[in-house]
Amino acid sequence: MAQLSGKSVYLTGGASGIGKAVTETFIQEGAFVTVLDKSAAGLEQLKQEYGDRVLCMEGDVTEYGDHINAVRAAVEAAGKLDVFVANAGVFDGFAKFSEVTPEAMSDAYDLLFTINVKGYFNGAKASAEELKKTNGNMIFTVSGAGFYPDGGGVWYTASKHAQIGLMRQLAFELAPDIRVNAVAPGGTLTALNVIGPLKPFVTAVDPDTKAKSIKSRNPLRIAMTSEDHVGAYLLLASDQSRAITGEVISSDGGLAVRGL
Ligand code: NAD
Protein backbone atom coordinates (compact mmCIF):
# COMPACT_ATOMS: atom_id res chain seq x y z
CA MET A 1 0.00 0.00 0.00
CA ALA A 2 1.13 3.56 -0.70
CA GLN A 3 2.88 5.03 2.36
CA LEU A 4 0.99 8.35 2.42
CA SER A 5 -2.39 7.15 1.27
CA GLY A 6 -5.08 9.69 2.27
CA LYS A 7 -2.61 12.17 3.80
CA SER A 8 -2.94 15.91 3.24
CA VAL A 9 0.40 17.72 2.99
CA TYR A 10 1.24 21.44 2.90
CA LEU A 11 4.71 22.16 1.46
CA THR A 12 6.54 25.40 0.66
CA GLY A 13 8.91 25.81 -2.30
CA GLY A 14 7.48 22.88 -4.26
CA ALA A 15 7.83 24.44 -7.70
CA SER A 16 11.51 23.50 -8.05
CA GLY A 17 14.40 21.40 -6.76
CA ILE A 18 14.11 19.39 -3.54
CA GLY A 19 10.56 20.60 -2.81
CA LYS A 20 9.37 19.52 -6.25
CA ALA A 21 10.94 16.07 -5.88
CA VAL A 22 9.30 15.65 -2.45
CA THR A 23 5.94 16.80 -3.86
CA GLU A 24 6.17 14.28 -6.72
CA THR A 25 7.08 11.38 -4.43
CA PHE A 26 4.39 12.25 -1.88
CA ILE A 27 1.76 12.36 -4.65
CA GLN A 28 2.99 9.01 -5.99
CA GLU A 29 2.67 7.64 -2.44
CA GLY A 30 -0.99 8.67 -2.25
CA ALA A 31 -0.88 12.16 -0.69
CA PHE A 32 -2.76 15.29 -1.72
CA VAL A 33 -0.23 18.14 -1.69
CA THR A 34 -0.85 21.88 -1.31
CA VAL A 35 2.16 23.87 -2.53
CA LEU A 36 2.99 27.50 -1.70
CA ASP A 37 5.62 29.03 -3.99
CA LYS A 38 6.36 32.43 -5.49
CA SER A 39 7.11 30.99 -8.94
CA ALA A 40 3.92 31.19 -11.03
CA ALA A 41 5.60 29.36 -13.93
CA GLY A 42 6.84 26.54 -11.71
CA LEU A 43 3.40 26.12 -10.15
CA GLU A 44 1.74 26.05 -13.57
CA GLN A 45 4.10 23.24 -14.59
CA LEU A 46 3.28 21.30 -11.43
CA LYS A 47 -0.46 21.74 -12.07
CA GLN A 48 -0.08 20.43 -15.62
CA GLU A 49 1.84 17.38 -14.40
CA TYR A 50 -0.29 16.42 -11.38
CA GLY A 51 -3.77 17.92 -12.00
CA ASP A 52 -6.13 17.47 -9.06
CA ARG A 53 -3.53 15.69 -6.85
CA VAL A 54 -1.89 19.06 -6.21
CA LEU A 55 -3.23 22.47 -5.11
CA CYS A 56 -0.98 25.32 -6.22
CA MET A 57 -0.94 28.57 -4.22
CA GLU A 58 1.17 31.47 -5.46
CA GLY A 59 2.58 33.44 -2.54
CA ASP A 60 5.54 34.39 -0.39
CA VAL A 61 6.65 32.46 2.70
CA THR A 62 7.58 35.72 4.43
CA GLU A 63 3.86 36.67 4.49
CA TYR A 64 2.03 34.96 7.36
CA GLY A 65 -1.31 35.52 5.61
CA ASP A 66 -0.14 33.49 2.59
CA HIS A 67 0.44 30.48 4.87
CA ILE A 68 -2.96 30.95 6.51
CA ASN A 69 -4.61 30.99 3.06
CA ALA A 70 -2.70 27.88 1.99
CA VAL A 71 -3.61 25.93 5.15
CA ARG A 72 -7.26 26.98 4.80
CA ALA A 73 -7.29 25.91 1.13
CA ALA A 74 -5.64 22.56 2.00
CA VAL A 75 -8.25 21.83 4.66
CA GLU A 76 -11.10 22.89 2.37
CA ALA A 77 -9.81 20.62 -0.40
CA ALA A 78 -8.74 17.58 1.65
CA GLY A 79 -10.77 17.95 4.85
CA LYS A 80 -7.66 17.99 7.09
CA LEU A 81 -3.91 18.55 7.30
CA ASP A 82 -1.44 15.79 8.27
CA VAL A 83 2.01 17.10 7.32
CA PHE A 84 3.70 20.50 6.92
CA VAL A 85 7.02 20.61 5.00
CA ALA A 86 8.94 23.91 5.40
CA ASN A 87 11.31 23.95 2.47
CA ALA A 88 11.40 27.23 0.46
CA GLY A 89 14.78 28.85 0.92
CA VAL A 90 17.49 31.01 -0.59
CA PHE A 91 21.30 30.94 -0.58
CA ASP A 92 24.17 33.37 -0.02
CA GLY A 93 26.41 31.84 -2.68
CA PHE A 94 29.34 31.30 -0.27
CA ALA A 95 29.77 35.12 -0.28
CA LYS A 96 32.56 35.98 2.14
CA PHE A 97 31.68 37.89 5.32
CA SER A 98 35.07 39.58 5.13
CA GLU A 99 34.63 40.77 1.53
CA VAL A 100 31.09 42.18 1.31
CA THR A 101 30.20 45.80 2.10
CA PRO A 102 28.46 46.60 5.40
CA GLU A 103 25.28 47.64 3.47
CA ALA A 104 25.12 44.36 1.53
CA MET A 105 25.86 42.51 4.77
CA SER A 106 22.89 44.02 6.55
CA ASP A 107 20.53 43.63 3.56
CA ALA A 108 21.63 40.01 3.16
CA TYR A 109 20.95 39.28 6.81
CA ASP A 110 17.43 40.76 6.69
CA LEU A 111 16.44 39.10 3.42
CA LEU A 112 17.93 35.68 4.06
CA PHE A 113 16.72 35.36 7.63
CA THR A 114 13.24 36.60 6.72
CA ILE A 115 12.87 33.90 4.06
CA ASN A 116 14.81 31.02 5.60
CA VAL A 117 13.89 31.39 9.28
CA LYS A 118 10.76 33.56 9.54
CA GLY A 119 9.33 31.68 6.52
CA TYR A 120 9.59 28.38 8.45
CA PHE A 121 8.25 29.96 11.65
CA ASN A 122 5.25 31.43 9.76
CA GLY A 123 4.36 28.10 8.16
CA ALA A 124 4.68 26.20 11.43
CA LYS A 125 2.47 28.70 13.26
CA ALA A 126 -0.17 28.70 10.51
CA SER A 127 -0.40 24.90 10.33
CA ALA A 128 -0.02 23.88 14.01
CA GLU A 129 -3.71 24.02 14.93
CA GLU A 130 -4.76 21.76 12.04
CA LEU A 131 -1.82 19.37 12.61
CA LYS A 132 -2.81 19.03 16.26
CA LYS A 133 -6.22 17.70 15.18
CA THR A 134 -4.61 14.87 13.16
CA ASN A 135 -1.57 14.15 15.38
CA GLY A 136 0.40 15.22 12.35
CA ASN A 137 4.00 16.20 11.82
CA MET A 138 6.29 18.93 10.49
CA ILE A 139 9.47 18.41 8.45
CA PHE A 140 12.02 21.21 7.96
CA THR A 141 14.49 21.15 5.09
CA VAL A 142 17.71 22.22 6.78
CA SER A 143 21.20 21.50 5.39
CA GLY A 144 24.67 20.20 6.17
CA ALA A 145 25.25 23.93 6.72
CA GLY A 146 23.08 23.53 9.83
CA PHE A 147 25.97 21.57 11.40
CA TYR A 148 29.21 22.49 9.64
CA PRO A 149 30.93 25.62 8.29
CA ASP A 150 31.61 26.15 4.57
CA GLY A 151 28.30 24.73 3.31
CA GLY A 152 27.47 28.35 2.43
CA GLY A 153 28.57 31.79 3.56
CA VAL A 154 28.00 33.15 7.05
CA TRP A 155 24.34 34.18 6.51
CA TYR A 156 23.19 30.84 5.06
CA THR A 157 25.11 28.84 7.69
CA ALA A 158 23.63 30.93 10.52
CA SER A 159 20.10 30.60 9.08
CA LYS A 160 20.40 26.80 8.77
CA HIS A 161 21.64 26.51 12.38
CA ALA A 162 18.65 28.67 13.39
CA GLN A 163 16.22 26.36 11.54
CA ILE A 164 17.52 23.39 13.55
CA GLY A 165 17.06 25.34 16.79
CA LEU A 166 13.51 26.23 15.76
CA MET A 167 12.78 22.59 14.89
CA ARG A 168 14.05 21.37 18.30
CA GLN A 169 12.09 23.99 20.25
CA LEU A 170 8.89 23.17 18.35
CA ALA A 171 9.42 19.42 18.82
CA PHE A 172 9.68 20.08 22.56
CA GLU A 173 6.70 22.44 22.73
CA LEU A 174 4.33 20.60 20.40
CA ALA A 175 4.81 17.10 21.84
CA PRO A 176 2.84 14.92 22.36
CA ASP A 177 0.50 16.22 19.64
CA ILE A 178 2.79 16.99 16.71
CA ARG A 179 6.14 15.48 15.72
CA VAL A 180 8.72 17.93 14.35
CA ASN A 181 11.83 16.73 12.48
CA ALA A 182 14.25 17.83 9.77
CA VAL A 183 16.11 16.55 6.73
CA ALA A 184 19.61 17.94 6.13
CA PRO A 185 20.59 17.54 2.48
CA GLY A 186 24.19 18.06 1.47
CA GLY A 187 25.17 20.08 -1.62
CA THR A 188 22.58 19.22 -4.29
CA LEU A 189 22.24 20.00 -7.99
CA THR A 190 19.31 22.46 -7.96
CA ALA A 191 18.67 26.04 -9.02
CA LEU A 192 18.94 27.36 -5.42
CA ASN A 193 18.96 31.16 -5.76
CA VAL A 194 21.56 33.57 -4.43
CA ILE A 195 19.83 36.60 -2.89
CA GLY A 196 20.19 39.97 -4.70
CA PRO A 197 22.36 41.92 -2.22
CA LEU A 198 25.08 39.24 -2.38
CA LYS A 199 25.06 38.59 -6.14
CA PRO A 200 27.87 41.11 -6.86
CA PHE A 201 30.14 39.19 -4.47
CA VAL A 202 29.49 35.74 -5.93
CA THR A 203 31.20 34.04 -8.88
CA ALA A 204 28.79 32.06 -11.08
CA VAL A 205 29.67 28.36 -11.39
CA ASP A 206 28.77 26.15 -14.37
CA PRO A 207 26.84 22.90 -13.63
CA ASP A 208 29.83 20.61 -14.34
CA THR A 209 32.11 22.45 -11.93
CA LYS A 210 29.32 22.47 -9.35
CA ALA A 211 28.81 18.70 -9.71
CA LYS A 212 32.57 18.05 -9.33
CA SER A 213 32.75 20.28 -6.28
CA ILE A 214 29.75 18.58 -4.59
CA LYS A 215 31.24 15.13 -5.34
CA SER A 216 34.65 16.00 -3.94
CA ARG A 217 33.19 17.28 -0.66
CA ASN A 218 31.36 14.15 0.58
CA PRO A 219 32.81 10.72 1.45
CA LEU A 220 30.33 8.82 -0.77
CA ARG A 221 31.47 10.98 -3.73
CA ILE A 222 27.89 11.64 -4.89
CA ALA A 223 26.83 14.68 -6.90
CA MET A 224 23.44 14.61 -5.20
CA THR A 225 20.17 15.34 -6.97
CA SER A 226 16.87 16.29 -5.33
CA GLU A 227 15.59 12.72 -5.73
CA ASP A 228 18.41 11.43 -3.49
CA HIS A 229 16.71 12.99 -0.45
CA VAL A 230 13.06 12.02 -0.86
CA GLY A 231 13.32 8.75 1.11
CA ALA A 232 14.15 10.67 4.29
CA TYR A 233 11.08 12.91 3.90
CA LEU A 234 8.88 9.92 3.18
CA LEU A 235 9.98 8.18 6.36
CA LEU A 236 9.42 11.27 8.53
CA ALA A 237 6.02 12.05 6.97
CA SER A 238 4.70 8.52 7.33
CA ASP A 239 3.34 6.62 10.32
CA GLN A 240 6.49 4.44 10.15
CA SER A 241 8.27 7.14 12.19
CA ARG A 242 5.68 7.71 14.92
CA ALA A 243 8.38 7.48 17.63
CA ILE A 244 10.71 10.04 16.00
CA THR A 245 10.66 13.72 16.96
CA GLY A 246 13.29 16.44 17.35
CA GLU A 247 15.65 14.61 14.97
CA VAL A 248 17.58 15.55 11.86
CA ILE A 249 18.16 12.95 9.16
CA SER A 250 21.33 13.86 7.29
CA SER A 251 21.17 13.02 3.60
CA ASP A 252 24.57 14.39 2.64
CA GLY A 253 26.89 11.65 1.40
CA GLY A 254 28.45 11.23 4.86
CA LEU A 255 29.65 14.69 5.91
CA ALA A 256 29.87 13.51 9.54
CA VAL A 257 32.54 10.93 8.62
CA ARG A 258 34.86 13.08 6.52
CA GLY A 259 37.58 12.61 9.12
CA LEU A 260 40.42 14.99 9.90
P1 NAD B 1 15.26 25.73 -5.54
O2 NAD B 1 15.57 27.15 -5.84
O3 NAD B 1 15.33 24.73 -6.64
O4 NAD B 1 13.81 25.64 -4.86
C5 NAD B 1 13.38 26.60 -3.93
C6 NAD B 1 11.92 26.93 -4.20
O7 NAD B 1 11.51 27.88 -3.18
C8 NAD B 1 11.68 27.61 -5.56
O9 NAD B 1 10.58 27.01 -6.20
C10 NAD B 1 11.41 29.07 -5.19
O11 NAD B 1 10.52 29.72 -6.11
C12 NAD B 1 10.79 28.93 -3.81
N13 NAD B 1 10.94 30.15 -3.01
C14 NAD B 1 12.09 30.84 -2.75
N15 NAD B 1 11.81 31.92 -2.00
C16 NAD B 1 10.47 31.90 -1.77
C17 NAD B 1 9.60 32.75 -1.06
N18 NAD B 1 10.05 33.86 -0.44
N19 NAD B 1 8.29 32.42 -1.01
C20 NAD B 1 7.81 31.33 -1.66
N21 NAD B 1 8.60 30.49 -2.36
C22 NAD B 1 9.91 30.78 -2.41
O23 NAD B 1 16.26 25.32 -4.36
P24 NAD B 1 16.46 23.97 -3.54
O25 NAD B 1 17.92 23.69 -3.59
O26 NAD B 1 15.52 22.92 -3.92
O27 NAD B 1 16.16 24.49 -2.05
C28 NAD B 1 15.12 23.96 -1.24
C29 NAD B 1 15.61 23.90 0.20
O30 NAD B 1 16.71 22.99 0.26
C31 NAD B 1 16.12 25.22 0.77
O32 NAD B 1 15.68 25.34 2.11
C33 NAD B 1 17.63 25.04 0.74
O34 NAD B 1 18.29 25.83 1.70
C35 NAD B 1 17.74 23.56 1.03
N36 NAD B 1 19.01 22.94 0.68
C37 NAD B 1 19.50 23.01 -0.59
C38 NAD B 1 20.74 22.44 -0.88
C39 NAD B 1 21.35 22.54 -2.26
O40 NAD B 1 22.58 22.33 -2.38
N41 NAD B 1 20.58 22.83 -3.29
C42 NAD B 1 21.45 21.77 0.13
C43 NAD B 1 20.90 21.69 1.40
C44 NAD B 1 19.68 22.28 1.67
pLDDT digits (tens, 9 = 90+) for 137-185: 999 999 999 999 999 999 999 999 999 999 999 999 999 999 999 999 9
What is the DSSP-derived secondary structure letter of residue 29? T
Contacts for 204 with CB less than 8 Å, ≥ 6 apart: none
Ligand 1 centroid – CA 126 distance (Å): 20
- The alpha carbon torsion through 107, 38, 89, 235 (nearest 10 deg) reads 160
> Which residues, judged by CB distance below 6 Å to any ligand atom, belong to the binding site of ligand 1?
13, 15-19, 37-39, 42, 60-62, 87-90, 115, 141, 143, 185, 187-188, 190-193
Residue nearest to atom 21 of ligand 1 (CA): 37
What pLDDT sits at residue 53?
97
Backbone torsions φ then ψ of 194, nearest 5 degrees: -85, 135
Task: Provide the pLDDT for residue 177.
Answer: 98
Taking the centre of ligand 1 as the mean of its atom positions, its distance from the CA of residue 60, in whole angstroms, is 12
Least confident of 116-125, 177-186, 188-197: 188-197
β partners of residue 9: 33, 83
Residue 145: the pLDDT is 98
Question: Which residues belong to the active site?
Answer: 156
From atom 39 of ligand 1, which residue's Cα is the shortest distance away? 188
Q: List the residue whose alpha carbon is closest to atom 41 of ligand 1.
A: 188
Euclidean distance between CA atoms 115 and 135, whole angstroms: 27
CA distance 195 to 12: 18
User: Which ligand 1 atom minimizes the distance to the CA of 115?
Assistant: 18
Contact 251, 186 (CB under 8 A): yes
Residue from 257, 252, 84, 23 nearest 160 by CA: 252
Output the CA 260–ligand 1 centroid distance in Å: 31
pTM for the full predicted model:
0.98
Mutate to test the pocket of ligand 1, among 190, 214, 250 (most ligand atoms within 8 A of CB): 190
Q: Give the separation between CA 72 and CA 81, rounded to whole angstroms.
A: 9
Cα dihedral across residues 30, 230, 155, 244: positive or negative: positive
User: 224 φ, ψ to 5°?
Assistant: -70, 145
- Average pLDDT in the chain: 97
Quick check: 187 and 255 in contact, CB under 8 A? no
| Residue 14 confidence (pLDDT) | 98
**Which of 20, 24, 38 maximizes ligand 1 atoms within 8 Å of its Cβ, making it the mutation to test the pocket?**
38
Percent of the chain exceeding pLDDT 70 equals: 100
Tell me, in angstroms, the distance from the centre of ligand 1 to residue 116's CA. 9
β-bridge mates for residue 84, sequence order: 10, 138
Strands (E), the chain: 8-12, 32-37, 54-58, 83-86, 137-141, 179-185, 248-251
* Model-level ipTM above the cut of 0.85: yes
pLDDT tens digits, residue range 227-239? 999 999 999 999 9
Closest CA to 181 of 200, 194, 198, 166: 166
State the pLDDT confidence band at 1, using cuts at 50, 70 and 90. Answer: confident
List pLDDT tens digits, range 36-51. 999 999 999 999 999 9
